[in-house]
Amino acid sequence: DQQVKQNSPSLSVQEGRISILNCDYTNSMFDYFLWYKKYPAEGPTFLISISSIKDKNEDGRFTVFLNKSAKHLSLHIVPSQPGDSAVYFCAASEGTNAGKSTFGDGTTLTVKP
Amino acid sequence: KAGVTQTPRYLIKTRGQQVTLSCSPISGHRSVSWYQQTPGQGLQFLFEYFSETQRNKGNFPGRFSGRQFSNSRSEMNVSTLELGDSALYLCASSVNSYNEQFFGPGTRLTVL
Protein backbone atom coordinates (compact mmCIF):
# COMPACT_ATOMS: atom_id res chain seq x y z
CA ASP A 1 0.00 0.00 0.00
CA GLN A 2 1.58 3.22 -1.18
CA GLN A 3 1.05 5.80 1.52
CA VAL A 4 2.17 8.81 -0.51
CA LYS A 5 0.98 9.12 -4.09
CA GLN A 6 1.80 11.53 -6.85
CA ASN A 7 -0.72 10.58 -9.50
CA SER A 8 0.75 12.67 -12.31
CA PRO A 9 4.05 11.20 -13.54
CA SER A 10 4.67 14.27 -15.66
CA LEU A 11 3.58 17.87 -16.12
CA SER A 12 4.41 20.34 -18.85
CA VAL A 13 3.84 24.09 -18.51
CA GLN A 14 4.82 27.23 -20.35
CA GLU A 15 7.42 29.56 -18.89
CA GLY A 16 5.79 32.26 -16.80
CA ARG A 17 2.66 30.23 -16.05
CA ILE A 18 1.77 28.44 -12.83
CA SER A 19 2.87 24.87 -12.15
CA ILE A 20 0.73 22.86 -9.75
CA LEU A 21 2.05 19.54 -8.50
CA ASN A 22 -0.24 17.35 -6.43
CA CYS A 23 0.28 14.76 -3.74
CA ASP A 24 -2.11 12.56 -1.78
CA TYR A 25 -1.43 10.57 1.36
CA THR A 26 -3.31 7.91 3.24
CA ASN A 27 -1.59 7.72 6.61
CA SER A 28 -3.38 10.05 9.02
CA MET A 29 -0.35 9.94 11.32
CA PHE A 30 1.69 11.99 8.85
CA ASP A 31 2.05 15.52 10.15
CA TYR A 32 5.12 16.90 8.40
CA PHE A 33 5.32 17.23 4.64
CA LEU A 34 8.18 18.17 2.38
CA TRP A 35 8.85 18.77 -1.28
CA TYR A 36 12.17 17.91 -2.84
CA LYS A 37 13.47 18.66 -6.32
CA LYS A 38 15.82 16.34 -8.14
CA TYR A 39 17.97 16.99 -11.18
CA PRO A 40 19.53 14.10 -13.13
CA ALA A 41 22.68 12.67 -11.56
CA GLU A 42 22.11 14.60 -8.34
CA GLY A 43 20.45 13.79 -5.04
CA PRO A 44 17.13 15.39 -4.12
CA THR A 45 17.28 18.95 -2.82
CA PHE A 46 14.92 20.23 -0.18
CA LEU A 47 12.49 22.82 -1.49
CA ILE A 48 9.82 23.62 1.06
CA SER A 49 7.97 22.00 3.94
CA ILE A 50 4.75 22.36 5.87
CA SER A 51 3.62 21.20 9.25
CA SER A 52 0.10 19.89 9.78
CA ILE A 53 -0.70 22.85 12.02
CA LYS A 54 -0.58 25.07 8.94
CA ASP A 55 -2.48 25.00 5.69
CA LYS A 56 -0.11 27.13 3.65
CA ASN A 57 3.58 27.91 3.53
CA GLU A 58 5.30 30.26 1.10
CA ASP A 59 8.90 30.67 0.08
CA GLY A 60 9.45 32.99 -2.84
CA ARG A 61 7.94 31.49 -5.97
CA PHE A 62 7.02 28.28 -4.13
CA THR A 63 3.88 27.76 -2.08
CA VAL A 64 2.69 24.54 -0.52
CA PHE A 65 -0.94 24.05 0.43
CA LEU A 66 -2.15 21.36 2.80
CA ASN A 67 -5.72 20.08 3.01
CA LYS A 68 -5.73 17.74 5.98
CA SER A 69 -9.34 16.65 5.62
CA ALA A 70 -8.70 15.56 2.04
CA LYS A 71 -5.20 14.27 2.86
CA HIS A 72 -3.92 16.28 -0.05
CA LEU A 73 -1.13 18.73 -0.60
CA SER A 74 -0.01 20.71 -3.58
CA LEU A 75 3.02 22.68 -4.63
CA HIS A 76 2.51 25.84 -6.64
CA ILE A 77 5.35 27.41 -8.58
CA VAL A 78 4.67 30.92 -9.83
CA PRO A 79 5.99 32.00 -12.25
CA SER A 80 7.51 28.81 -13.64
CA GLN A 81 10.99 29.04 -15.12
CA PRO A 82 12.88 26.65 -17.40
CA GLY A 83 15.35 26.01 -14.57
CA ASP A 84 12.48 24.52 -12.57
CA SER A 85 12.42 21.55 -14.92
CA ALA A 86 13.19 18.58 -12.67
CA VAL A 87 11.58 15.68 -10.84
CA TYR A 88 9.61 16.78 -7.80
CA PHE A 89 9.09 14.43 -4.89
CA CYS A 90 6.51 14.78 -2.19
CA ALA A 91 7.50 13.30 1.18
CA ALA A 92 5.73 12.81 4.48
CA SER A 93 6.74 11.85 7.97
CA GLU A 94 5.30 11.32 11.40
CA GLY A 95 6.46 14.23 13.50
CA THR A 96 9.74 13.34 15.10
CA ASN A 97 10.50 10.68 12.51
CA ALA A 98 11.40 13.03 9.67
CA GLY A 99 14.50 10.91 9.23
CA LYS A 100 12.16 8.17 8.05
CA SER A 101 10.34 9.97 5.27
CA THR A 102 7.89 8.27 2.96
CA PHE A 103 8.25 9.50 -0.60
CA GLY A 104 5.95 9.56 -3.57
CA ASP A 105 7.10 8.33 -6.98
CA GLY A 106 7.79 11.83 -8.23
CA THR A 107 6.42 14.11 -10.92
CA THR A 108 8.62 15.24 -13.80
CA LEU A 109 8.02 18.93 -14.46
CA THR A 110 9.01 20.40 -17.81
CA VAL A 111 8.86 24.14 -18.21
CA LYS A 112 8.97 25.19 -21.85
CA PRO A 113 10.54 28.52 -22.83
CA LYS B 1 30.06 23.81 4.38
CA ALA B 2 30.69 20.59 2.45
CA GLY B 3 27.63 18.62 1.39
CA VAL B 4 26.82 14.96 1.86
CA THR B 5 29.33 12.78 0.09
CA GLN B 6 28.88 9.20 -1.01
CA THR B 7 31.47 6.74 -2.22
CA PRO B 8 31.77 5.12 -4.59
CA ARG B 9 29.55 6.87 -7.11
CA TYR B 10 29.26 3.83 -9.35
CA LEU B 11 29.63 0.16 -8.62
CA ILE B 12 29.21 -3.01 -10.64
CA LYS B 13 28.88 -6.33 -8.84
CA THR B 14 27.70 -9.82 -9.68
CA ARG B 15 24.96 -11.83 -8.05
CA GLY B 16 25.92 -13.37 -4.74
CA GLN B 17 28.60 -10.82 -3.94
CA GLN B 18 28.36 -8.31 -1.15
CA VAL B 19 28.87 -4.57 -1.26
CA THR B 20 29.57 -1.75 1.17
CA LEU B 21 28.55 1.83 0.45
CA SER B 22 29.81 4.80 2.40
CA CYS B 23 28.24 8.12 3.36
CA SER B 24 29.78 11.16 5.01
CA PRO B 25 27.10 13.53 6.33
CA ILE B 26 27.31 17.28 6.62
CA SER B 27 29.42 18.30 9.56
CA GLY B 28 27.26 18.55 12.67
CA HIS B 29 24.50 16.33 11.32
CA ARG B 30 23.81 13.36 13.54
CA SER B 31 20.99 11.69 11.63
CA VAL B 32 21.81 9.65 8.54
CA SER B 33 19.16 7.90 6.47
CA TRP B 34 19.50 5.56 3.51
CA TYR B 35 17.06 5.23 0.64
CA GLN B 36 16.82 3.01 -2.42
CA GLN B 37 15.54 4.40 -5.70
CA THR B 38 14.68 2.08 -8.58
CA PRO B 39 13.42 3.14 -12.01
CA GLY B 40 9.85 4.36 -11.91
CA GLN B 41 9.72 4.25 -8.15
CA GLY B 42 10.09 6.82 -5.50
CA LEU B 43 12.61 6.62 -2.75
CA GLN B 44 12.16 3.60 -0.52
CA PHE B 45 13.34 4.07 3.05
CA LEU B 46 15.97 1.59 4.19
CA PHE B 47 17.04 2.75 7.65
CA GLU B 48 18.02 5.71 9.77
CA TYR B 49 20.89 6.04 12.18
CA PHE B 50 21.23 8.62 14.91
CA SER B 51 24.21 8.81 17.23
CA GLU B 52 25.43 5.34 16.18
CA THR B 53 22.05 3.72 16.85
CA GLN B 54 19.61 2.45 14.29
CA ARG B 55 16.47 4.41 15.03
CA ASN B 56 14.18 3.39 12.21
CA LYS B 57 14.10 0.53 9.74
CA GLY B 58 12.19 0.10 6.51
CA ASN B 59 10.75 -3.05 4.97
CA PHE B 60 13.86 -4.54 3.46
CA PRO B 61 15.28 -8.02 4.02
CA GLY B 62 18.04 -8.67 6.49
CA ARG B 63 20.58 -8.71 3.65
CA PHE B 64 20.52 -4.94 3.95
CA SER B 65 22.33 -3.64 6.99
CA GLY B 66 24.08 -0.51 8.10
CA ARG B 67 26.01 1.14 10.81
CA GLN B 68 27.07 4.58 11.94
CA PHE B 69 30.38 5.57 13.43
CA SER B 70 31.13 8.04 16.19
CA ASN B 71 31.94 10.74 13.62
CA SER B 72 28.43 10.20 12.12
CA ARG B 73 29.79 8.63 8.96
CA SER B 74 27.64 5.72 7.89
CA GLU B 75 28.04 2.58 5.86
CA MET B 76 25.44 0.39 4.24
CA ASN B 77 26.08 -3.24 3.43
CA VAL B 78 24.17 -5.53 1.11
CA SER B 79 25.04 -9.20 1.23
CA THR B 80 24.24 -11.91 -1.30
CA LEU B 81 23.38 -9.44 -4.01
CA GLU B 82 20.40 -10.06 -6.27
CA LEU B 83 19.63 -8.59 -9.69
CA GLY B 84 16.77 -6.62 -8.11
CA ASP B 85 19.21 -4.77 -5.87
CA SER B 86 20.34 -2.73 -8.85
CA ALA B 87 19.36 0.80 -7.90
CA LEU B 88 20.48 4.24 -6.89
CA TYR B 89 21.26 4.29 -3.19
CA LEU B 90 20.87 7.68 -1.60
CA CYS B 91 22.15 8.82 1.73
CA ALA B 92 20.63 11.82 3.50
CA SER B 93 21.65 13.65 6.63
CA SER B 94 19.96 16.10 8.93
CA VAL B 95 20.83 17.84 12.16
CA ASN B 96 18.36 15.67 13.96
CA SER B 97 15.23 13.90 12.80
CA TYR B 98 13.03 16.96 12.93
CA ASN B 99 14.23 18.82 9.89
CA GLU B 100 14.59 18.48 6.16
CA GLN B 101 17.20 16.10 4.88
CA PHE B 102 20.21 16.87 2.74
CA PHE B 103 20.94 14.24 0.15
CA GLY B 104 24.15 13.03 -1.35
CA PRO B 105 24.49 12.36 -5.09
CA GLY B 106 23.93 8.65 -4.57
CA THR B 107 25.75 5.45 -5.44
CA ARG B 108 24.57 3.73 -8.61
CA LEU B 109 24.79 -0.03 -7.99
CA THR B 110 24.48 -2.43 -10.90
CA VAL B 111 24.20 -6.14 -10.19
CA LEU B 112 24.96 -8.44 -13.12
pLDDT for residue A96? 65
Q: Which of B88, B91, B96, B97 to mutate to test the interface with A (most CBs of A within 10 A)?
A: B97
pLDDT for residue A97? 73
Query: Which pairing describes strands B10-13 and B5-7: parallel, antiparallel, or unpaired?
Result: unpaired
Distance from CA of A55 to the nearest CA of B (A): 18
pLDDT for residue A80? 98
pLDDT for residue B29? 92
What mean pLDDT value characterizes chain B?
Answer: 93
CA-based radius of gyration for chain B: 13
Residues of chain A with pLDDT under 70: 96
Closest residue in chain B to residue A5, using alpha carbons only: B42
Residues of chain B with pLDDT under 50: none
Closest residue in chain A to residue B106, using alpha carbons only: A43
pLDDT for residue B1? 65
d(CA A30, CA B70): 31
